[in-house]
Amino acid sequence: MYNLARRLGLNGTVANSAAGVEIFAEGSASDLVLFRQLLEQEQPPMSLIDTVKVKPADPQQMSGFSIISSRHGALQVGATPDAAVCPDCLLELFDPGDRRYLYPFINCTNCGPRYSIIRALPYDRHQTTMSGFTLCSACDREYSDSSDRRFHAQPNACAECGPGLSFADVAGEAREGDPLTAAVELIQQGMIVAVKGIGGFHLLCDARNPAAVARLRLRKNRPVKPFAMMGLNTQSLASIVLLNEAREQRLQSQDAPVLLCPANNGIPEGIAPGLAWCGVMLPHTPLHYLLLHRLCGSPAGIRWLNQPQPPLLVMTSANRSGNPLVTDNQLAITGLQGIADGFLLHNRDIRIRCDDSVVNGLSDTMPLIRRGRGLAPQVIRLPQSGPSTLAVGAFFKNTLCVTLGDRAYVSQYIGDLDNPDCCQSLVEMAGHLTALLGIEPEQVVCDLHPDFYSSRFARDYAQQNAIPLYPVQHHHAHIASVMAEQGITEPVLGLALDGLGLGPDSQLWGGELLLVEGHQYRRLSHLPLLALPGGDRAASEPWRSAAAVLHRLGRTDEIASRFRQPAANTVQQMLQQNFNCPHTSSSGRLFDAVASLLGICHINSFEADAAMQLEASAYRYLQRHSLRDENRMIDFSESGQPVLDRLLNWIAETGDPELGAARFHHQLIDGLSRWVIGQSQTTKVKIVVLGGGCFLNQLLLQGVTETLRVAGMTVYSASELPCNDAGISLGQAQIAHWLAMQNKNDK
């Protein structure tokens, strides 16, 4: 703003404020019009212009244009997400003549840490974790020079005045010498290093060393869950995954996410067992580039940056399985004992933890799987304003959402609430987000399930603050989340497919077709009910769901012989006696059952393990074969509900797992689509919203979307947030807004 105004010869002032950027400009009418036009045409890479409001002001006869102190008040903007190191800083990083040569914390106004270091808004240095680092004279000159790329760059620093690296050994003792050398030596020896980044620590090891990968799996108790890998550039990744122009652009974007890509033949052993894809990423901090520079043999110049290089690093969150990401130096040393062989540390504090964002690059739309570093906490504009709301999300993949007017601020991924540390993170995030954004919630929203930690927290919060509490049904929230981000206000047919969610009938839902009209919904029909022998155990042991399918098909006697599990006989008897076998319409358990019936996966070592392997099996088959499957195996009852038994009987008989997986997907897509079309004809509603974690399956999402669109439906799915439970908090907030609007109209 300052440079543009000076260039056009305008007089006036500009300031950060709680409402955004406030400009007072004096000049000729033509110059002011041009100024307004160029604001958007020349906006910097990290800026986001939501709206521009212009009003005439009385002339002040100012001389010159200046930046004035930030103004406080009612907040209307969010914090800027963290951004990957920019090309200009990268060139300086490897220029021996630059004063920041090989400095691990190089940044400018176009890149570097933001959200993870902010303590309060407006975004000024004294309100960040950089406040303890006093600018040296050279950095101060850059900060004050309007022609410099670091003009008002709040994290600006250099080796003389900024943060620095250190290294601690496996015992936590500081090691003398160059920290980077110590870290690289351990990686080359096949050891594991904990590295502090922007939003938290990563655990790193050599991805091409099978022994190192196996060691990391053993120590982290992560037997098969896939690891992400980091390569220097897209040329380096092209040997292990299939890249196209869209994937390359997504990898090189400012948020630098982990991107799921189809596997090439070169994926190192042990990285993504059983899958047809893997997650890859590019370096997003100067420190990552410096590590890879050393691993490449410290080449001179910058040509090496654009050439394929052999080093590949496993990059996984530094935590014990299920715990939140580690952000503190001392906690990393104590909490990662027995996992890491060394610790590459720095002394710039992380105020807010942010896991890596994860994006699904298997489809053209590239939907989100996890929203974290580089994306949180971007603002989502709601279709209407409403009371300030705190929505506390779901049990799994928890996020929070706070609203102000028509703006919704969704937190980064917090985690599953079966972990005490994640529960504590929820409490801390609720306090941090509301304080950071200056929001005092007027209502709080939670899941309908009363025993979730988030629900109990919401009850206490509502009582302590004397505000209303609204419980919201899980699948209603899934559909409302997509409606909120897409700005949909008309009635929709909502197809919600996921693991489990409590219905108002106290039953376990998960395969639902809903008619959603704002804060109200009606359950039109659901997938066939399936028993869950052992209750929650079935979610981690897919063979139990498969046993329930056999029982429903009249093949109970096959259970004990088919599944070589110690509890197989017991489960068979439980099903026969209907003992501890709650029923569910869950599509997630249906995917589990099919994966087990096909012999693909009997035990989930992580959530959705079986479902991912089932999708991968279908993907591999469809890469080699064209499936022409005209024989429909999914029938419909008189009520319009799908009947899957003929398909499941065939699956239980086939000896080809990949064909079985492909046919299951094909038949399910056809059956779901006919289900929706039939209800559309009955309700006269032609807008369809797809929600729930099962739509992370790209074969399912693309197949249902394309089939419905061919049939004349308008189809929406999640794009700004993940379709799984990480989007629930936004849906809860949206429903609360609708409800408040209805209550206001009733009065």
Q: How many other CB atoms are found less than 10 A from the CB of residue 666? A: 18
- Percent helix, percent strand, percent coil in the chain, to nearest 5: 35, 20, 45
Four-residue CA torsion sign, 261, 267, 269, 274: positive
pLDDT over 60 at 395, yes or no: yes
Distances (CA, A) of 350 to 161, 325, 370: 18, 11, 20
Average pLDDT estimate for 615-624:
95
In three state form, how does the secondary structure of 351-392 look? CCCCCECEEECCCCCCCEEECCECCCCCEEEEEEEEEEEEEC
By C-alpha distance, which of 490, 498, 495, 427 is closest to 460?
Answer: 427
pLDDT over 80 at 179, yes or no: yes
pLDDT over 90 at 366, yes or no: yes
Contact residues for 176 (Cβ-Cβ < 8 A; gap 6+): none
Cβ 527 vs Cβ 642: under 8 Å? yes
Across all residues in the chain, what is the average pLDDT? 95
3-state SS class at 477: helix
Average pLDDT estimate for 555-578:
95
What values do phi and psi take at 486, rounded to 5?
Answer: -95, -5
By C-alpha distance, which of 108, 83, 110 is closest to 98?
Answer: 108
**Domain residue extents for the chain:** 2-67, 165-360, 377-472+722-746, 528-668
AA identity, residue 560: A
Average pLDDT estimate for 403-419:
94
CATH of 165-360, one of 3.40.50.300, 3.40.190.10, 3.90.870.40, 3.30.499.10: 3.90.870.40
pLDDT over 90 at 69, yes or no: no
Contact residues for 213 (Cβ-Cβ < 8 A; gap 6+): 205, 207, 227, 268, 269, 270, 271, 314
Percent of the chain with pLDDT over 90: 88
- 44 band by pLDDT with thresholds 50, 70 and 90: confident
CATH architecture of 2-67: 2-Layer Sandwich (3.30)
d(CA 214, CA 8): 61
Burial class (CB in 10 A: 0-12, 13-18, 19+), 626: exposed
As given in the structure block, the two tokens for residue 666 are 């094909």
pLDDT over 80 at 630, yes or no: no
Burial class (CB in 10 A: 0-12, 13-18, 19+), 20: middle
DSSP state of 269: T
CATH of 377-472+722-746, one of 3.30.360.10, 3.30.420.360, 3.40.50.720, 3.30.2290.10: 3.30.420.360
By C-alpha distance, which of 541, 469, 533, 476 is closest to 504?
Answer: 476
pLDDT digits (tens, 9 = 90+) for 260-298: 999 998 899 999 999 999 999 999 999 999 999 999 999
pLDDT of residue 454: 98
CATH architecture of 528-668: 2-Layer Sandwich (3.30)
pLDDT over 80 at 568, yes or no: yes
Average pLDDT estimate for 594-601:
98
DSSP state of 98: S
pLDDT over 60 at 430, yes or no: yes
- 379 band by pLDDT with thresholds 50, 70 and 90: confident
Average pLDDT estimate for 315-331:
92
pLDDT of residue 82: 96
d(CA 746, CA 529): 38
- 547 band by pLDDT with thresholds 50, 70 and 90: very high
d(CA 392, CA 477): 12
pLDDT over 70 at 38, yes or no: yes
Contact residues for 59 (Cβ-Cβ < 8 A; gap 6+): 26
pLDDT of residue 649: 97
Average pLDDT estimate for 60-78:
77
Percent of the chain with pLDDT over 70: 99
d(CA 106, CA 311): 23
As given in the structure block, the two tokens for residue 98 are 């630059």
DSSP letters, 404-453, are EEEEEEEPPP-B-TTSHHHHHHHHHHHHHHHHHTT---SEEEEES-TTSH
By C-alpha distance, which of 654, 663, 657 is closest to 632?
Answer: 663
By C-alpha distance, which of 448, 415, 45, 420 is closest to 252?
Answer: 45
d(CA 418, CA 439): 28
Cα torsion for 317, 321, 324, 326, to the nearest 10°? -50
Cα torsion for 256, 259, 263, 266, to the nearest 10°? 30
Average pLDDT estimate for 238-263:
97
d(CA 116, CA 377): 10
d(CA 111, CA 518): 40
d(CA 271, CA 282): 17
User: Is the whole model's pTM more than 0.85, yes or no?
Assistant: yes
- 76 band by pLDDT with thresholds 50, 70 and 90: low
> CATH topology of 165-360 equal to that of 528-668?
no
pLDDT of residue 74: 56
DSSP state of 116: G
- 596 band by pLDDT with thresholds 50, 70 and 90: very high
pLDDT of residue 406: 94
Cβ 277 vs Cβ 286: under 8 Å? no
